[in-house]
Amino acid sequence: DEPELKIIDVFICKLRKKLQAATGGKHYIETVWGRGYVLRDPGDEGGIEAA
């Protein structure tokens, strides 16, 4: 039995919602295209910048 391919995406989505509800809407989990996910401090300005 192989796990569903999107199970990590579903888990991250649920985790993001719980973190946002608990922290007043701050974003702690960022998606890094082609790599995965990264946990960031939302107050850290040295994060990934949008192109």
Q: How far is CA 28 from the centre of its chain?
A: 6
Contact predicate 31/47, CB 8 Å:
no
Q: Provide the percentage of residues in the chain whose pLDDT is more than 90.
A: 49
Contact predicate 39/28, CB 8 Å:
yes
- pLDDT digits over 26-45, tens only? 889 999 999 999 999 877 75
For 19, the token pair is 């973190």
First to last CA, the chain: 40
**Spatial separation of the C-alpha atoms in residues 24 and 19, rounded to whole Å:** 8
pLDDT computed for residue 22 by the predictor: 93
